[in-house]
Each structure stands twice: as structure tokens, then as C-alpha cells.
Structure 1
Amino acid sequence: MMSEVPDRIAFLGPPGTFSHAAVDRFFGHSDAQERLSVANIDDVFLEVEAGNAGFGVVPVENSTEGAVNSTQDCLIDTSLTIVGEIYLPIEHNLLLKDPARLSEVRRIVSHKQSLGQCRLWLRTHYPDMELCEVSSNAEAARLAADDPATAAIAGEVAARFFDLTVVADRIQDRQDNTTRFLVMAREHAALGTEHQVAGVSTGQDKTSILVYTENKPGALFRVLEPFDDFQVSLTRIETRPARDSMWSYVFFVDFEGHMQDDAVKNVFGKLAGRAVKIKNLGSYPRARV
């Protein structure tokens, strides 16, 4: 059964975040698809699970700062399926309401990940400045819009939305800084004319799974060996503590291919006898980086 509101897309808000930009990149700017801004990543999953949104967009990893742990934790518990992915170049800017008052700035605010991605630039240019973590870059921009003594680190979308001036652009420490986002849905669904129907093999796909193993030596080797045996290329592997047992772990594995592919079926056949549990998060078209 299709979601009750397939044309509503939940994302980590408020409007002006990089998550908002990822929604626009994947779905376009159609007014027919309502954007639902929510306060945190958990709420993105909850809104889609409850049928209040047809799709949800969440960040899962950044090329500088690594995995987004809250998204990974939600993936462990969710019943949703990954139906797409987006790679969004992340360009950070220092934003200010009135650039003539730059010397009056007493603090710089941004999301924790963004502060980390600009660590070297901040150390070089503002070594003694107070740095404050807030819930999102858009919230940082809102604070800067309300207070001339506050500067924000955020993207161009936030600058336009809150009428701020870019006083320093592209301040991220790595110019190839990129965040990968996942598109979540309650089922395989048509994503629009620019996208294939998720769940159908395109020949250029990726699959994501969770693998629960016994806590004993060689567990990771037994997980990885079937991929080598059947020449299925891994694109990512991460480890998180399992929630149901102390000192047990779950492996997040992304690999090239689709669940309908023979090689992938062979991998699953061999993995079945080596894992306590395997959770299939979905097969979906690979995004171009």
C-alpha cells in the first residue's frame, strides 16, 4: 500500500539546511511536493513510519567527519526502506547580518558537524572566538540574523533564506567535502520521472544491509569473505554497538549490485550461515558523486 501522503517529504529542518538542499537536488523544486521540516533525524523516520510523509531525507555520512551516528541508530530500528541516495557537495560560508560590524562578532555558531568540517580555518582565523553548537546550520543562520554579534557557518541556501551576507566563502577544510543522504520510504515507490522505481534493478545499483554477528574472533572476516568469493564490491562498512546485547556489534554494509542480481543472491546465501541476523535496508539506484 502506498503512503497516504507520497508527495510530502520530511527532512531535518528548519528550511535552509543542507538536508533541505538535498531534498531539492533529488526531487527538484516542484510545488506539488510539500516539504515537511522536522526538528531532528529521529522525527524524519517517525513521520514517514506514521504515514505523515511519503519520503524522508536524512544525512548518513560525511567525507570529512564520517558517519552520522543518529541516522545509523535509526536504521537499526526502522521498518523503512532506502529507495535512493544523494551526494551533496558541502560548501560552508561565514555569514553575518551586517558585514560592516564584523569586528563586533563575539561568537560563531553552527551545527557540530559543520564546526568540525571548518576546524582548521577557524583555528587559523578565529583562534580565540567562542564556538557554539546549535541544532542545525539554519538555526545558526537564524541566530545570526537576530544578533549582529553572532556569525553563522552555513550554506548559501541559509544565507538567502535569512538575508545574510557571505563574508568568507568555502571555508571548509577540505574542498571535496561531501555529505551522502538517504531517501527513506515505507515501501518501494515511484520517485518521479527523473528516477527509477526503487526496488527494480537498473544495472547501476547499490544495496545496504545490517549484519549482526556473534561476538567472537573472525566475525568480520566471515562477513567479508562471501563478497570476495563472488566479486561483489563493497562501498562502505561501519560498525555500531548492537542495542540488544552488551559488547555485541552490528555491521553496516553498502555494496554494488541489487538484490535481484545473481552474485548478490549468492552472497546472501553464504552470509546466511555466518550471521546471527541480516537486515536488508534496500536496493536502489547509485547516485553520481
Structure 2
Amino acid sequence: MSPRTERPDEAFVLDALRGTRLERVRWVAETGSTNDDLSDLARNGAPEQVLITDLQTSGKGRRGRVWTAPSESGLLMSVLVRGVSPADGFWSVGAVALAASEAIGSRTVSACTLKWPNDVMLGPATDQKKVAGVLAQLVDDAIVVGIGINATWPDDVPADMAERGTSINRHLNDRTIVDRADLAVDVLRRAIGHLESDRETLRSTWKARCSTLGQHVRLELERGPIVGTAVDIAPDGALQIEDSGVRTTHQVGDVVHLRPAG
């Protein structure tokens, strides 16, 4: 078998991250799921690393939903982080989601925010749409955090995709093609910083970027919806909702933003 050849975009990311905790990077043309691939490696004791692909054929979203994107239209990557306990899970995911929101927001003319628990939203405050999602898998003392960012969509993207989501290039002045390698480096460098910050600093920064807080929301739960005002993110990452002076805390659920509170 001939030795594997580095792609130019992979070489760019490798060079930019050399000497950091995420200096091990592979970029492949296609795989089933970057999260599954790195989870298998994590079970076998693999060190911290990053896997990026142009195309996922079995990508997953939250709650078992299917996640798809045309080849090379998005930044699809997973990050293997070691030394993570279940109690650290939310904020390990939060560090990557926050990094993505900051990196995207530094490029666009529209605001980029976080929607609890792990969606990255882009657009004007009254019409934000999902630009990226994060999904994690705990494996022993490690966590694999996968993120899919819609980077460059064509003008003729299917109507159902455009209704539910958006892409970075649709929020640039010239709608240029987004350099995915440059975006990957930006996200990963920021993620390293957030992963290495103390919990309260990360929580405070995450909350400042969270568009869910202060909203009148409906939280969809298996036992039925909860309606109230999203007032805080607890130290463990749980969403706190207040209604008629009663505050409840929720670890999971799908949030619908109804309107700003007040």
C-alpha cells in the first residue's frame, strides 16, 4: 500500500496547529461519520486529535436525526478530547460550539449566537437560522465532539434547507466561497483556548453569546412542553426556566424561541 499523501488543506491545518494539543489532524474525502471514527479510536486509547471530511454518508444530529450536507459545502469535523468526565460533558461541547460561533461571527455581517443546548445560529435577531450543530459522544475518559458548519451554499439550495438553516457565505458581503481550512484553524484555536479556560470563565462567555437567555421559550420534553422565560444556564449547563415565579432546571430538551421576554 502506498503511503497516504497529505492534502493541501490538511497540511495547512497541520502547520497552523503544530505544537498545540490538537496538532494531530487528518482530512479525508469521505467517511461514514467522523464521530464514529474517532470514537472507535478513543476506545483503543488514541490521543487527542481532529478528523475532518468533505462528505459524511452517515452523519447524525441530535436525538438520532440524520444530518446531511453536499460534499465540500461545509466544515465537517470531530475533535477527540481526553480527560473528560460526564460532569464536564456539556462544557466540552460548549467550548467547541462557542469557538464556532466566534469564528463564524468574525467573518459575517450578521450576528452569530448560541441556542441552548448546542445549536449555532446566524442572522438578524428576528430571523436567525441554524448554521452549525454540535453532537458529542462520551467514550470512557474522553469525549468526541462533532461539529457541522454550513460554509458555502449555492444559490439554488433546496427550499426546505433554506427554510430551516443558513450558511456562512449567505451572510458575507460578496457571498464568496468560504475557505474551510482557514475556518477549521480558527475554530480549533479558539476551542483550545476555551477548553483550557476555567469553568466559570467559559460559562460566563458562553452565556454572553446565548440568544436563548431572556427569551420567552417553549421547551419540548418527552412528558410535554414547558413554557416560560429562559433565565440562566446552571453551572452544569442545564437550562433554567422561570414561569410565575417558579424556576425549573432542565438537562435536555428542544427549545423554541417564542419572543423576547418582557
TM class, shorter-length? under 0.3
Query: Quick one: higher RCO (CA 8 Å, sep 6+), 1 or 2?
Result: 1
- Normalised TM-score (structure 2): 0.25
Q: Which has the larger radius of gyration?
A: 1
